[in-house]
């Protein structure tokens, strides 16, 4: 019975799975026009073009630059042709080239020119010891250029994304990647490995759930040395849904008494506290308001909906008064993003869309318009949302840039994503 409940809850979570007063801020049309070029006459031109293309993609997604398309090239040790670039309405010219002295990995020289002032404004070299990690090298270049221009941070682009991918029945692997899914590395394989959750901001370890002798068990594993240790086991289901800002406490969904409830585990004292006590289903809790409160999904009103409570308090507050099936939630400070079945979608009668609200008022904003959109996660600065979009048994990672009201999709080449974190 408990294993059936566990499988049912995973299915429920994966299928259900700035508000009106927080206007989406439209940036002015004063963004610089930037042209990104790879230097001529270089070896490994294919990989260099991949780096250039990724930088271009990053700066476009940032929303802070207008991308200029042009075939102009110049050798890295030559000055830019300011007259030609000015005719093309280019404000910034970014030129890259490989450092041929590097034996292993990649080292990229970067030069940025201010066309209007006719001068070189930035000259740096960045490197990686692993050629396969060139996407992260490109992300760091984009972050560097963005930072030099004093634009809002895009450091989230240099973060690992971690996700579980279904291979076949009762089989799923856990992988890490960059946010575009270009770089991928398999971390855990063998058996059913689900619900990965980063253990800290350093992203050197994560928690996940695996079956051990048919019992769901939470493990913590280091991605660099593969050291693994058992955290907790429970009949029915057991999942880490959130980690406190200092990494010392876990919010866990567990069902030792039959139906799932929310528990708080203090990793320093090993004390486990039951936070909710309900005869039905309470799952997927996240911290809000400086880790003093939680939001979670519950069926206490017959259908999944979003509720909040103070961790040490008794009262329960309903947060969402929209939709009939609100089944997945994530938080950033007082902001809450959740998944809701949207019968009124003009594009798809079976769509699950994302909505953004605040814990401080009753406003709401719709973020997606069609399809099955699940497992939203805020970036560490709260300006972007990562989520899973499923269509025709295929998965994509979606990125929503809240300040620009723009969305980007990156498809997974094979398999289907079960859950995700970054």
Average pLDDT, the chain: 87
Domains and CATH numbers, the chain: 2-24+204-421 (2.120.10.30), 33-148 (3.40.50.10070)
> Alpha helices of 98-245 — where are they, by DSSP H?
134-148
> Alpha helices of 191-284 — where are they, by DSSP H?
none
- Summarize pLDDT for 320-350 with one digit per residue, the tens: 887 778 989 998 888 899 999 876 554 555 7
Beta strands across the sheet bearing 119-128: 66-67, 33-38, 92-98, 106-114, 119-128
- Summarize pLDDT for 51-75 with one digit per residue, the tens: 999 999 999 999 999 999 999 999 9
How much is the CA Rg of the chain, to the nearest whole Å?
23
CB contact burial 212-226 (16+ within 10 A = b; e otherwise): eeeebbbbbbebeee
Q: CB neighbours of 176 closer than 8 A, spacing ≥ 6?
A: 160, 161, 162, 184, 185, 187, 223
What residues form DSSP beta bridges with 354? 339
Distances (CA, A) of 373 to 161, 390, 396, 397, 408: 17, 7, 10, 10, 13
Instruction: Say what the pLDDT of residue 28 is.
Output: 39
What residues form DSSP beta bridges with 71? none
* CA 240/CA 249 separation, integer angstroms: 10
Q: What angle do CA 274, 277, 278 make, to 5 degrees?
A: 145
* CA 142/CA 376 separation, integer angstroms: 24
- Summarize pLDDT for 250-284 with one digit per residue, the tens: 999 999 888 999 999 999 999 999 999 998 999 99
Residue linked to tokens 């006590």: 277
Instruction: Say what the pLDDT of residue 348 is.
Output: 55
Helix (H/G/I), strand (E/B), else coil: 47: helix
- Summarize pLDDT for 298-309 with one digit per residue, the tens: 999 888 999 999
Q: Tell whether the model's pLDDT for residue 2 goes beyond 90.
A: no
* CA 259/CA 268 separation, integer angstroms: 27
Instruction: Find the mean pLDDT for residues 178-201.
Output: 95
Q: CB neighbours of 59 closer than 8 A, spacing ≥ 6?
A: 34, 36, 65, 67, 142, 145, 146
Instruction: Say what the pLDDT of residue 344 is.
Output: 56
Q: Tell whether the model's pLDDT for residue 16 goes beyond 50.
A: no
Q: What angle do CA 284, 286, 290 make, to 5 degrees?
A: 170
Instruction: Say what the pLDDT of residue 162 is.
Output: 97
Instruction: Say what the pLDDT of residue 20 is.
Output: 25
pTM: 0.87
Q: Tell whether the model's pLDDT for residue 19 goes beyond 50.
A: no
Contact 390, 133 (CB under 8 A): no
In terms of Cα–Cα distance, which of 160, 269, 144 is closest to 206? 160
Contact 170, 192 (CB under 8 A): yes
What residues form DSSP beta bridges with 229? 220
- Summarize pLDDT for 137-182 with one digit per residue, the tens: 999 999 999 999 999 999 999 999 999 999 888 899 999 999 999 9
- Summarize pLDDT for 388-413 with one digit per residue, the tens: 998 777 899 999 999 898 999 999 98
Percent of the chain with pLDDT over 90: 69
């Amino acid at each position: 019975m408990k294993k059936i409940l566990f499988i049912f809850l995973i299915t429920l979570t994966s299928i259900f799975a700035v508000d009106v007063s927080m206007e989406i801020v439209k940036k002015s049309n004063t963004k610089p026009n930037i042209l990104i070029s790879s230097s001529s006459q270089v070896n490994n031109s294919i990989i260099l073009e991949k780096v250039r293309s990724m930088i271009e993609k990053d700066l476009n997604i940032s929303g802070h630059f207008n991308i200029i398309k042009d075939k102009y090239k110049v050798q890295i040790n030559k000055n830019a042709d300011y007259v030609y670039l000015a005719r093309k309405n280019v404000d910034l010219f970014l030129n890259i080239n490989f450092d041929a002295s590097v034996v292993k990995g990649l080292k990229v020289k970067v030069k940025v020119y201010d066309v209007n002032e006719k001068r070189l404004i930035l000259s740096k070299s960045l490197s990686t010891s692993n050629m396969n990690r060139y996407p992260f090298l490109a992300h760091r270049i984009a972050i560097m250029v963005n930072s030099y221009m004093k634009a809002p941070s895009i450091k989230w682009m240099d973060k690992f994304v971690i996700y579980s991918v279904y291979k076949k029945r009762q089989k799923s692997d856990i992988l890490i990647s960059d946010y575009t899914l270009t770089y991928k590395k398999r971390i855990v394989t063998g058996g059913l490995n689900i619900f990965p959750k980063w253990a800290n901001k350093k992203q050197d370890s994560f928690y996940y759930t695996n079956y051990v002798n048919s019992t769901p068990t939470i493990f913590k594993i280091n991605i660099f040395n593969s050291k693994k240790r058992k955290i907790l086991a429970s009949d029915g289901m057991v999942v880490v849904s959130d980690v406190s800002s200092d990494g010392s406490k876990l919010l866990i969904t567990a069902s030792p008494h039959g139906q799932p409830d929310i528990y708080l585990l203090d990793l320093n004292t090993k004390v486990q506290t039951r936070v909710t006590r309900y005869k039905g289903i309470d799952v997927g809790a996240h911290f809000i308001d400086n880790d003093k409160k939680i939001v979670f999904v519950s069926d206490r009103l017959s259908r999944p909906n979003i509720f909040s409570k103070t961790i040490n308090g008794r009262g329960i507050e309903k947060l969402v008064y929209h939709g009939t099936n609100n089944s997945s939630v994530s938080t950033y400070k007082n902001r809450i993003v959740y998944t809701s079945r949207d019968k009124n979608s003009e594009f798809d009668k079976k769509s699950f869309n994302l909505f953004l609200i605040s814990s401080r008022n009753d406003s709401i904003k719709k973020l997606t318009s069609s399809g099955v959109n699940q497992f939203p996660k805020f970036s560490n600065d709260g300006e972007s949302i990562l989520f899973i979009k499923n269509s025709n048994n295929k998965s994509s990672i979606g990125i929503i840039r809240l300040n620009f009201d723009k969305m980007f999709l990156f498809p997974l080449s094979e398999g289907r994503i079960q859950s995700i974190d970054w």
